[in-house]
Amino acid sequence: MNGLEHELRALAPHVEWPDAPDVASAVAARVAMPRPRRTPSRRVGLVLAVLLLALAVALAVPPARTAIFDWLGIGSARIERVDELPPLQPSAPVALLGEPTTLAEARRRAGFRVAPPPRNEPAPDEIRVVDGRRVSYLWRDGNRIRLLVTQVPGLLQRGEILRKLIPPSVRIERLTIDGDGAVFLTGGPHAVFLLDPNGSFEQDQGWLAGATLLVDLGGSTLRIEGDLDRARAVRLVHSMT
């Protein structure tokens, strides 16, 4: 025993310690008290609050945010993350976009509300329609499609119509345009598939797309693809509504 321990032992009898509280009686009384019953509405409120908090946390984490995109989608478009893209041609096959027609005829055959072509662009080089499925506006630069605007029915009308496979190199940015949900895809090519007449997504119904904006317009899903940044893509949406 060292000197400090001797001094502490000698000091102990001269220190006045407070009486120990009666913890056992207090705990017993607390346990005996009736527990307040939570009403069902309060319990439901607590569950909803927990779910909303979990969703907010998940949206703040990029990997989780990507998984939620798979579940929510945008309009009738579904977004899926993949490690590799399938071998597809680098631009939209015009035959997939339907028959060439006029705007009035396309609207008649579409079976859903069709927005007009963007006001801040020249008139489309072509308007194509697939009855009851999609309407597309095309602008060409030689043999290349420089801008493609496609409209398909909204999710509540027909279910999933567009499917996108997104590799790790592509950035997914979620935004709203005048209150409508939207997603902007940029950073590299991604695969896009259109629902075929048999109700499936076959490889010959797809292509590799560049920068793309998807917007849920309520009655339809709008897809804009081309050499554009987000600001220009949003301006095109504004000029169609």
- Three-state helix/strand/coil letters over 161-215: CEEEEECCCCEEEEEEECCEEEEEEECCCEEEEECCCCCCCCHHHEEEECCEEEE
Instruction: Assess if residue 147 is contained within a domain.
Output: yes
For 155, the domain range is: 73-238
Q: Is residue 188 part of a domain?
A: yes
**Within a domain: 19:** no
Q: How many domains does the chain have?
A: 1
pTM over 0.95: no
Q: How far apart are CA 214 and CA 217, in angstroms?
A: 9
pLDDT at residue 24, as a whole number: 58
Angle at alpha carbon of residue 71, lines to 67 and 77, rounded to 5° = 110
Strand order in the sheet with 206-209: 77-81, 162-166, 190-194, 206-209
Please report whether residue 179 resides in a domain: yes
63 belongs to a structural domain: no
**What is the per-residue pLDDT for 64?**
43
- 61 found inside a domain: no
pLDDT in tens, 194-218: 877 666 676 677 899 999 999 988 6
Report, as ranges of residue numbers, the positions in the chain whose pLDDT lies below 70: 1-72, 155-159, 197-200, 202-203, 218
Q: Give pLDDT, residue 61.
A: 44
pLDDT at 98: 92
